[in-house]
Chains A and B, each alone.
Chain A
Amino acid sequence: MGESIAIIVIVLLLIVGSMVFYAKIKAASIGEKKSLFQELDVIKLSQVAYGLSEVQCSFAEVSDYGCIDILKFTYLSNLINTSSGKTYFYYRELFGTSKIYLKSINNTGGVTYYELYHNKRNSTGNSSTFMPTIIYNPITVHNTFGILTVVKYD
C-alpha cells in the first residue's frame, strides 16, 4: 500500500514537472508568434498607407505609385483630424493605433513635416517602416523627395 502511494506521488510529480516544462515552451513559442504578427501588422499598414487612393498622385486615370500629392495629403489630414463623425471612425478603424507622417526634404536639405494620423493610446512599444516617395505639388508643378513613415504601436 505504502509503495503504491509512493509510486503514485512520483508519477504525479513527473506529470506536473512535464506540464510546467511544456507550458514554458508554449509561452516562448507564443511570444515568437506575437512578434511575427506585430511585424505582419506593420507591413500591412504600410502597404495600406502607401497605396491610399486618397493621397496618391494621378495623371488622368493613371495612378502614380511612389508619389504623394501634397494637396490631397494635407486635405486628408484635415479631414481626419477635424471631423468627429463617420470619417474619423473610418480612418481610425483603418489605421488603428499608429502614426503616419510624411517628411519632405527640399533641395537645400530643409525638412517639412506633415502628419496624417496619430493615435497612440497606452502602448509600450512600436515598429516602424520608412518608405521613400516623391511629393508632388500640383500648384507649383514641383516634385520633392520625401519619406513616408508608418509607426505601428503595440
Chain B
Amino acid sequence: MLAKVKKGQIEIQFNWIFIFIVGVIILIFFLFVIRSQTKSADIELAGDIIKNLDTVVKSAQTTVDAEKIIAMPNVKISFICEPDTNISFYDLGNGVKKDTPYDIIFSQEKLSGYELISWTQSWDVPFRIATFQYLTTKRAQFIIVNDTGTFAEELNKSLPKGMNKLFINPNDNIVDNNYDYYKIIEFDGSKHTGDKPTKNVHKIIIHINSGQSTIDSYGTVKFDEPDVPIINFVKKASLFGAIFSEDADFYNCTMNKAFDRFEILMKLQHNRTGEIKDKLPAEMASCRNIFIVSGSDMDSLSSKKLVDAANIFEGSKKIMRANENLIRGKNCPLIY
C-alpha cells in the first residue's frame, strides 16, 4: 500500500517535471519566433522605406532647380561614396541598402529627421550634362561667412530658402543650437573668427579664380581636413556639390560620376554637330566653320577631368559663344 502511494507521488512529481520541461520548450520556441519576426519586420520596414525613398529621390531628380521636402520616417540614412572604388550607396542600417552608381547626389554622411530636403541644379558645361541633386535636413545648418566682395551674398541668394542657412559677418558668434551638422562656408580672405559650436563643425574655404566675377565660374575648394589637397570646381552646380558634401572624398567620388556623363555627352554632341555640319544645305554654308571649330572643341573637352577645370570652363565658354552667334541670326541649326 505504502509502495503504491509512493509510486503515485513519484508519478505526480514526474508529471509536473514533464509539464515544466515541455512548457519551457514551448516558451523558448515562441520567444525565438518573436525575435526572428521582429528582426525580419525591421528589415522589411527598412526595405519598404528604401524602395519608396528611391522612387521619390529619383522623381525629384527629373525637375531642375526644384526644392522639395520629402517626408520620411525618423530613420538615419547613411550616404557612402568611395572615390578609389567608385562604390556608392545609401543605407538605413539593418544591411538594407540602395546602390547609387549613377545618381549624382551630394550629401552629408548621415541624415536623420522626419524631412529630407532635396534640391536640384543643372550642371551646364555649356549644355546640360547632368542634374545634380543635393540632400540635407533641417538638422544641418549651413553658415555663410560674408566676404569683402559679392560672392558670399551671391551664394546666400542662390542656396534654397527652405534649407537651414545663416548669413553672418566674420566676427559674429555661431550659436550652438544642438544641430547634427554645422558647415561653415568661407571665401578666401574672410576667415570666421567668432565663437562656434564645439562639435559636428565642418568648414570649407572657397577660392574663385581671379578675373571671374561670379560663383558660376571655376576655382578651388579646401575642405577642413588634414592632408587633403585643394580640389577644383567648375560651374556653380559643382561648387554647391562641394558645399553639401560630407568631405573631399565624397565630393571627388560624386564628381567622378559627373565626369563619366560629361565624357558621354561631349562625344554625343560632337557626333551630332558633325552630322549637322555634313547635312547643312547650301544656303547655310557660312555656318559650317562654326560647327567644325565647336566639334573640335567638344572632342578635346571630352577627355578632360576635374583637374582641368580652367580648360573646361574656357572651352565651354567658346562653345557657348559659337552657339550664341548662331542664335543671333545666322539662321542655322544650333550646336545645342
Contact = CB atoms under 8 A, between A and B. Distances in A.
A93 B268 CA distance: 19
Which applies to chain A's interface (DSSP): helix, strand, loop or mixed?
helix
A48 interface: yes
A48 B127 contact: no
Interface residues of A, number: 36
A4 B127 CA distance: 81
Interface string A1-33: 100100010010001000000000000000001
Contact of A11 (B18, B26, B130, B267): B26
A139 to B, nearest CB: 5
Contacts of B48: 33
A72 B268 contact: yes
Contacts of A75: 268, 271-272, 275
A35 to B, nearest CB: 13
A33 B275 CA distance: 47
Nearest to B126: A61
B333 A1 contact: no
A37 B44 CA distance: 13
Interface string B295-336: 000000000000000000000000000011001000001101
Nearest to B25: A8
A40 B275 contact: no
B101 interface: yes
B268 A44 contact: no
Nearest to B333: A138
A139 B333 contact: yes
A4 B264 contact: no
Contact of A90 (B126, B264, B334): B264
11 contacts: A1-B14, A37-B51, A40-B52, A44-B58, A44-B59, A61-B127, A61-B128, A93-B101, A138-B333, A139-B276, A139-B280
Given A44-B54, A51-B61, 5 more contacts: A40-B51, A51-B131, A79-B267, A79-B271, A90-B102
- The 10 closest A-B CB pairs, nearest first, are A51-B62, A138-B333, A53-B128, A75-B271, A71-B272, A40-B55, A44-B58, A139-B279, A47-B62, A61-B124
